[in-house]
Amino acid sequence: MKKKLLGVLLTAVVTTSLLAGCGSSEEPAAPAAQEEPENVEEAEEETEAAGEVAEPEEATEEAATSEGIDTSENYLEGKKIVVLLKSYTHMFWVEAANEAEMLADQYGCEVEILAPTVANSNEEQIELLENSLVSPPDLYIIVPADSQGIAPAIAEINNEGIPIVNVNTQITDESVSYDSYVSANQYDLGYTTVSTAIEKLGEEGKAIVIFGKPGAQTYMERDEGASAAFAEHAGWEVLDNQVANGDRNEAMTVMQTLMTKYSDIDLVYAEDGEMALGAAEAIKAAGKEGEIKVVGDNSSVEICDAIKSGALYMVYDDAAWSQMETGFKVANLVLGGQSVEDTYYSPIYLVDSDNVEEYSKRYDE
């Protein structure tokens, strides 16, 4: 089914193009994932079922989950898929690209990965998509940098009748359409990260929030979820909310400035892993590591190492590999002419000192 596109979030795209493919005729296996780590889901209860997310008090959009998507038939074999990412340098998108290449091998399809040379360049993303139509694919998997800014390129793809699976950042311009949207629930991600941190640290404290890129839907939704979580705990005061554009160096500078402005900080919530690492570097340089707890979203080898060392307190991983895996599953249904839901949510995973050794094994694969 076609879904009306809603917001706007574009990121430049000077292309980094990778081709991966294979001709296997075997039914695709599930991605080679590690055993799911133990996960804390509820604010008042621990559970060992990793991948389930606590339901926040405020209702969120109803959506199907990635579990139970039928992959018994392989409709991707021999097809060409173009995957457009926001960047090919940010750790999250490197993981997504690697997963896409692995999935292409499993499904026996060809994948072309496009990403801007300047991260989050809407203009470059549009140019990449327009150029890709010279030799059009059977399906696009698109992660826009700008939810509305990407609309001109999406309109051209719509005119060609090529299906689109929208992943991670939702296309929100109502003049264009895509077949299905796949992401972790970003509101729940922000809500659950902050709720879990408060559960661990206690009912009183002072917090800093480091925001990502203004206008970016994923960051806005995480911020809304985090704000809702803080609002439920009257003993917690949010001292400041500053922008660092998803950049580690900017986050380090922001944190340095905030530590001179506020002498009493208990918690920093950084809305992605790069910014969490930047904040942690500033805190360590100020001699306050362990005194100020840093939590965030996303995971990587470096983030796991930072949790092991105590530089980071915990993160929730919205798992680029899981979002891409779900995106390919939905693409398989679309190319098979099967009905799909408007939205699919992939799970999020808690990574802290209790399970980081196990969770980090996935990066050894």
What is the C-alpha separation between 358 and 105, in angstroms, rounded? 26
Element (H, E) at 316: strand 314-317
Q: Which of 236, 234, 309, 303 is nearest to 270 (CA)?
A: 303
Element (H, E) at 359: helix 356-359
| Tokens (6 digits) for 160 | 């060609």
Burial of 216 (0-12, 13-18, 19+ CB in 10 A): buried
> What share of the chain has pLDDT > 90, as a percent?
76
The one-character DSSP state at 47 is B
| Tokens (6 digits) for 216 | 């970016």
- Listed by start position, the domains of the chain span 3-183+322-348, 186-317
Q: Which of 104, 170, 118, 183 is nearest to 154 (CA)?
A: 170
Q: Following DSSP, what letter does each residue of 165-186 receive, concatenated?
A: EEESS--B-TTSEESEEEEE-H
- Are 3-183+322-348 and 186-317 the same fold in CATH? yes
pLDDT in tens, 35-45: 333 333 333 33
Listed in sequence order, the residues at least 6 apart from 352 whose beta carbon sits closer than 8 Å to its beta carbon are 40, 307, 313, 314, 315
Helices in 62-185 by DSSP H: which ranges?
Answer: 91-107, 122-132, 151-160
pLDDT given at position 156 = 98
Determine the residue type at 288: K
Q: What confidence tier does 88 reach under pLDDT thresholds 50, 70, 90?
A: confident
pLDDT in tens, 113-123: 999 999 889 99
pLDDT above 70 (res 21): no
pLDDT given at position 12 = 31
Listed in sequence order, the residues at least 6 apart from 279 whose beta carbon sits closer than 8 Å to its beta carbon are 210, 251, 252, 254, 255, 268, 270, 294
Q: Which of 249, 250, 355 is nearest to 299 (CA)?
A: 355
Q: Which residue has the tokens 């949010």?
A: 238
Q: Considering only the top CATH level, what class is 3-183+322-348?
A: alpha beta
pLDDT in tens, 269-294: 999 999 999 999 999 999 999 999 99
End-to-end CA distance of the chain: 36
Q: What confidence tier does 62 reach under pLDDT thresholds 50, 70, 90?
A: low
Q: Which of 101, 73, 105, 77 is nearest to 16 (CA)?
A: 101
What is the C-alpha separation between 360 and 326, in angstroms, rounded? 21
Which of the residue ranges 10-14, 185-189, 308-312, 341-345 would you say has the lowest mean pLDDT?
A: 10-14
pLDDT given at position 365 = 64
Q: Which residue has the tokens 């399970």?
A: 355
pLDDT given at position 315 = 98
Listed in sequence order, the residues at least 6 apart from 36 whose beta carbon sits closer than 8 Å to its beta carbon are 50, 51, 349
pLDDT in tens, 326-352: 999 999 999 999 999 999 999 999 999
Tell me the average pLDDT of the chain: 86
pLDDT above 70 (res 10): no
pLDDT in tens, 213-239: 887 889 999 999 999 999 999 999 999
Q: How many CB atoms lie within 10 A of CB 337?
A: 7
pLDDT above 60 (res 25): no
Maximum distance among all Cα pairs of the chain, rounded to whole angstroms: 62
pTM of the model: 0.77
pLDDT above 80 (res 11): no
Which of the residue ranges 50-64, 155-169, 218-232, 329-343 would you say has the lowest mean pLDDT?
A: 50-64
Q: Which residue has the tokens 């002498």?
A: 263
pLDDT given at position 35 = 37
Question: Of 3.40.50.180, 3.30.750.24, 3.10.20.520, 3.40.50.2300, which CATH number belongs to 186-317?
Answer: 3.40.50.2300
> Which has the higher per-residue pLDDT, 355 or 44?
355
